[in-house]
Amino acid sequence: METLEKRLSTLEYVSVENEDDRTTVTVAPEKVLELAKILRYEEKYDFLFDIVGMDYGDEGFGVIYYLSQTENPARLTAVKTRTGSREKNELDSVCEIWESANVYEREVYDFFGIIFINHPDLRRIFLRTDWNGYPLRKDYDFESNSIPVHNELIPDMETSHSVYMHEGHEEDVTRSLFDSNEYVVNFGPQHPAMHGVLHLRVSIEGEEVKNIDPNFGYIHRGIEKLCESYTYPQILHLVDRLDYLSGTMNRHAVCLCCEKALGLEVPPRAQYVRTIIDELTRIASHLLGWGCMCMDMGSITAFVYGMRDREKIMDIFEETAGGRLMPNYNIIGGIARDINPNFIRRVKEFIPYMRKMLKEHHILFTGNPIATGRMKKIGYLSKERAITTGATGPSSRASGWSNDLRKIKPYSAYDKVDFDEVLRTGGDTFDRYIIRLDEIEQSLRIIEQLIDNIPEGAFAAKTGAIIRLPKGEFIQRVENARGQFGVHIASEGGKTPYRVKFRSPSLVLVNALKEIVPRHKIADLIMIGASLDYVIPCIDR
């Protein structure tokens, strides 16, 4: 950290603040690009975690870049900037430095109308092109849009829009995404293999994919805006529905964030149970991911087997928490209710059962020559690409990038257990497939170590009837089934947050498709998509 401070102290236009787990750098908007280049190329900040857009009211718009180094992944550095007035809404794009900034900046543009100069493809990302206004601005008029009756007309040859600085003044440039003689096929929004309502426009030549353009927003529910009008306990229920397959983990992130802000001490019993529930959710999610991947390959039987094993976990959730897919179990300060007396017995029965079934799954599918033939050497994602596109989680660990937050920065009871971070080096579809099954095994190990040692005591810390977070900005990351899930809460000290931003691990995964898929077959496109295992509602929020 000293080197960073030393380096930054030579620059006049920045101010640095150090907190215990992160560094905040404030910079003038004109100098963002310059600072970004220094951070990226001199200080080796190669992983752009997230870009958060902010509306500071009369002080203009702001952007917070969260950066991290692969060498020192536990520490986040926030680069803050604000434009100063509402009329001024232009910033330099950092797309050329970090690939993942592409989608993040489009998102900020969509929500706040901040124009990123030199961004290669500055279209709206979630909302329709004919949408009026920028919804996350504080002065957004809710009545300005009605339910659209007609389909959005997206021509095959849709143009991408960019703003470039040319000899000191701005210049709008439009480019065509597809050539006029390309055969463009729409996959989605309603497509059995799109895992939700993703819309991919794919230009193909015979069976081969030439170009691909993802189109999001078919399940954009405006959760971040909704959060601004909800109290903190109410937000939890929206968070569950972001990435419903790792709902408890997302909820865990928000709880941890609020607890950190409030300075609450969570009882150890709650920490243990939270960890077990998280790992059970991870197993359920990976089983479903495995099943869906098999189904996308045409093996429906494997999918049914995956769902069959998943039902056992659903039973555990239902008995203890009272819900199947949405257990609503973590609350700020602990867990909603004590565990059921049968909980420990059921989990203990589940572990050997799952181990046996894992073996069967491997025999049924992993060894199958058709399956391996379809997965091996397909969809290669190198470690460097994984880092720069920001792809985290199992999908990037298959490329050899160690980024498991449970190891890097243990939260709850993860520092009390012994488990391996599964890493592979192939980076192809097969590695991304097998890593999920291996992670199930590791999750079972974690549960095994915790289940006998759940400490006695209270299951939730006392909180006031109304929870108010102190003024400030808080960020918390957890490892969910798809990668690093982040929650950024800006509070003004009231009952409701000022701004909430969720960092979805799936968004960058879909963006990575653009890199991986070209020159593969249509069937591979489906396979690669399934192996990245993205969840669309988490992307669209």
Partner 1 sequence: MNEFIKYTVNIAKGLHMLCSGMYITMLNMIRPKITEQYPENRGKKTYFENFRGELVMPHNENNEHKCTACGICMMNCPNGTIQIVTSVLTDETGKNKKALDRYVYDLGSCIFCALCTSSCPQGAIQWTNAFEHAVYTKDKLKKQLNREGSTLMTKNRQ
Partner 2 sequence: MEVKDIRIRNMKYEDFNDNEYLENYVNELKENGVNVFVGTFSDIINWGRSNSVWPLTFATSCCGIEFMCVGAARADFARFGWEVTRNSPRQADVIFVCGTIVHKMAPVLKRLYDQMAEPKYVIAVGSCAIGGGPFKKSYHVLKGVDEIIPVDVYVPGCPPRPEAMLYGMMQLSRKIKVQNFFALSEKSVKHKSEK
Partner 3 sequence: MYSFKDITDGIDSILHLFLNDTFATLAELILAGLALIGAYAVLALTLIYAERKICAAFQCRIGPSRTGKWGVFQTVADMIKILFKELIRLDHNDRFLFRVAPFIVIIASMCTFAALPFAKNLHAIDFNMGVFYLIAVSSLGVIGILLAGWSSNSKYTMIGAMRSGAQLISYEISAGLSLLAVVILSGTMKISEIVEQQSEMWFIFRGHVPAIIAFFTYIIAGHAETNRGPFDLPEAESELTAGYHTEYSGIQFGFYYLAEYLNMFIVAAIAAVMFFGGWMPLHVSGWDGFNYIMDCIPSFIWFFGKTFACVFIALWVRWSFPRLRIDQLLNFEWKILMPICLINIILMSLIVVF
Q: Tell the residue number behind the tokens 């609020």, with chain if given.
A: 258
- Name which position in 67, 108, 122, 193 contacts partner 3 (CB under 8 A): 193
Q: Does 190 bind partner 2 (CB under 8 A)?
A: yes
Q: Does 522 bind partner 3 (CB under 8 A)?
A: yes
Residue 47 corresponds to which tokens in the numbers above?
Answer: 């992983």
How far is it, in rounded angstroms, from Cα 278 to Cα 331? 14
- Type of residue found at 307: M
* Main-chain phi, psi angles of 487, to 5 degrees: -130, 130
How far is it, in rounded angstroms, from Cα 156 to Cα 175? 13
Virtual CA dihedral for 301, 304, 305, 309, nearest 10 degrees?
180
Q: Does 231 bind partner 2 (CB under 8 A)?
A: no
322 makes contact, choosing from partner 2, partner 3, partner 1, none, with CB < 5 to 8 Å by partner type, with partner 1
DSSP code, position 517 = S
How far is it, in rounded angstroms, from Cα 478 to Cα 481? 10
- Say which residues have a Cβ less than 8 Å from residue 291's Cβ, sequence separation at least 6: 302, 303, 304, 305, 306, 307, 310
Stretch that binds partner 3, among 110-118, 179-187, 406-414, 441-449 (CB under 8 A): 179-187
Stretch that binds partner 2, among 1-9, 109-117, 134-142, 203-211 (CB under 8 A): 134-142
Q: How far is the CB of 303 from partner 2 (least distance, A)?
A: 8
DSSP code, position 533 = T
How far is it, in rounded angstroms, from Cα 270 to Cα 456? 10
- Name which position in 16, 314, 423, 467 contacts partner 2 (CB under 8 A): 314
- Name which position in 226, 344, 467, 523 contacts partner 2 (CB under 8 A): 226
Q: Does 363 bind partner 3 (CB under 8 A)?
A: no
Q: Does 75 bind partner 2 (CB under 8 A)?
A: no
Q: Which one, 11 or 314, has the nearer CB to partner 1?
A: 314
Q: Which one, 165 or 304, has the nearer CB to partner 3?
A: 304
523 makes contact, choosing from partner 3, partner 1, partner 2, none, with CB < 5 to 8 Å by partner type, with partner 3
- Name which position in 1, 165, 370, 466 contacts partner 3 (CB under 8 A): 370
Calculate Rg over the CA atoms of the chain: 23
Q: How far is the CB of 299 from partner 3 (least distance, A)?
A: 4
294 makes contact, choosing from partner 1, partner 3, partner 2, none, with CB < 5 to 8 Å by partner type, with partner 3
How far is it, in rounded angstroms, from Cα 283 to Cα 268? 23
Q: Which one, 178 or 216, has the nearer CB to partner 2?
A: 216
Nearest Cα residue to 123 out of 100, 103, 94, 139: 103
Q: Which one, 186 or 496, has the nearer CB to partner 3?
A: 186
How far is it, in rounded angstroms, from Cα 102 to Cα 355? 41
- Name which position in 21, 44, 148, 159 contacts partner 2 (CB under 8 A): 148
Q: How many residues bind partner 3 (CB under 8 A)?
A: 32
Tell me the CA end-to-end span of the chain in Å, nearest whole number: 34
- Name which position in 43, 311, 338, 421 contacts partner 2 (CB under 8 A): 311
DSSP 415-480: GGS--PPP--S--SHHHHHHHHHHHHHHHHHHHHHHHTTPPPS-SB----SS--PPSEEEEEEEEE
- Name which position in 60, 196, 333, 334 contacts partner 2 (CB under 8 A): 196
How far is it, in rounded angstroms, from Cα 66 to Cα 333? 26
How far is it, in rounded angstroms, from Cα 218 to Cα 541? 10
- Name which position in 1, 165, 304, 466 contacts partner 3 (CB under 8 A): 304
Q: Which one, 196 or 267, has the nearer CB to partner 2?
A: 196
- Say which residues have a Cβ less than 8 Å from residue 422's Cβ, sequence separation at least 6: 394, 397, 435, 438, 439, 442
Footprint on residues 246-305 left by partner 2 (CB under 8 A):
288, 303-305
How far is it, in rounded angstroms, from Cα 314 to Cα 428? 31
Residue 303 corresponds to which tokens in the numbers above?
Answer: 């999918």
Q: Is the dihedral of CA 381, 385, 391, 396 positive or negative?
A: positive
- Name which position in 148, 155, 192, 494 contacts partner 3 (CB under 8 A): 192
Would you tell me which residues interact with partner 1 (CB under 8 A)? 230, 233-234, 236-238, 301, 305, 308, 311, 315, 318-323, 326, 328, 336-337, 340, 360, 363-365, 367-370, 465
Q: Which one, 254 or 297, has the nearer CB to partner 3?
A: 297
Q: Which one, 294 or 460, has the nearer CB to partner 3?
A: 294
How far is it, in rounded angstroms, from Cα 103 to Cα 105? 5
Footprint on residues 242-261 left by partner 3 (CB under 8 A):
none
Q: How far is the CB of 524 from partner 3 (least distance, A)?
A: 7
Cβ(188)–Cβ(175) below 8 Å:
no
Q: Tell the residue number behind the tokens 């203890």, with chain if given.
A: 320
Q: Does 207 bind partner 3 (CB under 8 A)?
A: yes
Strand, coil or helix: 452: coil
Q: Does 383 bind partner 2 (CB under 8 A)?
A: no
Nearest Cα residue to 154 out of 186, 180, 181: 186
Q: Which one, 336 or 522, has the nearer CB to partner 3?
A: 522
* Main-chain phi, psi angles of 355, to 5 degrees: -60, -45
> Given the DSSP bridges, would you call strands 115-117 and 61-68 parallel, antiparallel or unpaired?
unpaired
What residues line the site for partner 2 (CB under 8 A)? 126-128, 135, 140, 142, 145, 147-152, 189-192, 196-197, 217-223, 225-226, 229, 237-238, 241, 244-245, 288, 303-305, 307-308, 310-311, 314, 324-326, 536-537, 540
What residues line the site for partner 3 (CB under 8 A)? 183, 185-186, 191-193, 204, 207, 294-302, 304-305, 308, 364-365, 368, 370-371, 373-374, 521-524, 526
